[in-house]
Structure 1
């Protein structure tokens, strides 16, 4: 895993986009933290590798959403965030550190928010993401119609919770997750399978936040 972190470090150095740099940085930070923990491994260290896996998932899905056209097709319909956030700038050169190394006061609220979202979206989770909108059954379409408002509210809650934190990296990651969730909602009327990468990117980021919180509290 340390070798993977070193490889990603090379990518990070040539990536000017702040959002992608944040994801690369946290992959590196948590991969190295897990590698350092291995000699004295404890079960709680699994949360460190959980962040690595979640960030990896988010990175892959961000890239796939761009490659297959989902992100550029849906982005124009998502309102831009404050210009002071998610801006393109190069971070100061320093070894990346786990963004939740000391936890955050909002962690308990993140647990509650994600648990409620899972409960509210059971029917949606059971849908086949490969089926496009023009092939949905009446029951599937009703599930999608019902889930749109739920996901809009969820995205707003993610943003609000992120802005409550004084942790700049947590805030930026939360806002990124909110924007990808909103893009997914915008895709629903004309959904195709590649739009699933949008929700997947958002889910990867929020999973990283949850496991980061758990790692800090373990």
Structure 2
């Protein structure tokens, strides 16, 4: 599956650049509304064993132990065997993700499946002449996959259902990405105008001293177990997280790229809900942050892959 830009999907819509009906076997074909926190999805159960086998296969390949900055021309025979096995494992999961993209009733989850396929395939295609910067393709696909997993974990832990009302009001998309074929395409084949500001905002967030202190708090410890300093840090971090979420969602919304807009809009939903949940935080809330962060990281890595 791939996407084509369709203008004007809201109630005050005008004409469209391209009119294309979604294939009837794509459950999310009619989803044109605002991106919101997902509280149920049949694809969650279906993706579980697929991604578990993917993780296990990648770990067994030794790929995660490699220095991914090393070019293919410098790989040792052992490194090459590891890359070959990682390629095989990735090809297996790609082949199984197309049906998942059709199964989910949620547009943005469909796009996440599609982009994981597209970026992982791009990484595979780069392997014969691989250089370190090509790892961004794999990373973009992996962050899309992580977002899919963490969204389902939030459903499983009930934090999605319990905290969704805390998110910023959802905003209707300006444009819609519609299914048009069986071949997913990179949503950022060229670097978007907003990429530089997006990446700079991302770096600034993780460089913020408050965020650095907040990240040291054990995510397994609930708010009731925090001391006064940890509560103060969490209160400050919440404001910074909300500010970042709104900034990145704004950049995505103004990018003219419907998939980038969807990923950042949904990322902001998860991040703002998480931030407002911090006063009564439990470890079950952690997947909300993970899902939001991975949605934003998928965009950031795709920006890096685009150059």
The TM-score bracket by the shorter chain reads over 0.9
Separation (CA, whole Å) in 1 of partners of 2:147 and 2:131: 26
SS of structure 2 residue aligned to 1:104: coil
Match of 2:303 in 1: 213
Match of 1:108 in 2: 196
**Which structure 1 segments of 5+ residues have no match?**
none
Contact (CA 8 Å) 2:167, 2:269: kept in 1 or not? yes
Match runs of 1:148-159 below 5 Å: 148-159=238-249
The Cα of 1:91 is off from its aligned counterpart by 2.7
126-135 or 78-87, larger mean C-alpha shift: 78-87
- Give deviations 1:92-123, integer Å, cap 9, x for gaps: 33411111111101110011100111022111
Separation (CA, whole Å) in 2 of partners of 1:62 and 1:33: 25
Q: CA RMSD in A?
A: 1.7
The Cα of 1:90 is off from its aligned counterpart by 6.6
71-80 or 25-34, larger mean C-alpha shift: 71-80
SS of structure 1 residue aligned to 2:198: helix
Determine whether 1:3 maps to 2:92: yes
Q: TM-score, normalised by structure 1?
A: 0.93
The Cα of 1:40 is off from its aligned counterpart by 2.0
Determine whether 1:198 maps to 2:288: yes
Match of 1:176 in 2: 266
Determine whether 1:91 maps to 2:203: no
Q: TM-score, normalised by structure 2?
A: 0.67
53-62 or 89-98, larger mean C-alpha shift: 89-98
Determine whether 1:134 maps to 2:214: no
Contact (CA 8 Å) 2:117, 2:184: kept in 1 or not? yes
**Which structure 2 segments of 5+ residues have no match?**
1-89
Contact (CA 8 Å) 1:78, 1:183: kept in 2 or not? yes
What is the aligned residue count? 216
Contact (CA 8 Å) 1:130, 1:192: kept in 2 or not? yes
Match of 1:21 in 2: 110
- Give deviations 1:39-79, integer Å, cap 9, x for gaps: 22222211111112211211111110011101110112224
The Cα of 1:82 is off from its aligned counterpart by 2.5
Larger helix proportion of the pair: 1
Contact (CA 8 Å) 1:85, 1:172: kept in 2 or not? no
Determine whether 1:62 maps to 2:173: no
- 1:86/1:150 CA distance change after superposition, 3 Å: farther
- 1:50/1:84 CA distance change after superposition, 3 Å: closer
Find the structure with the greater CA-based Rg: 2
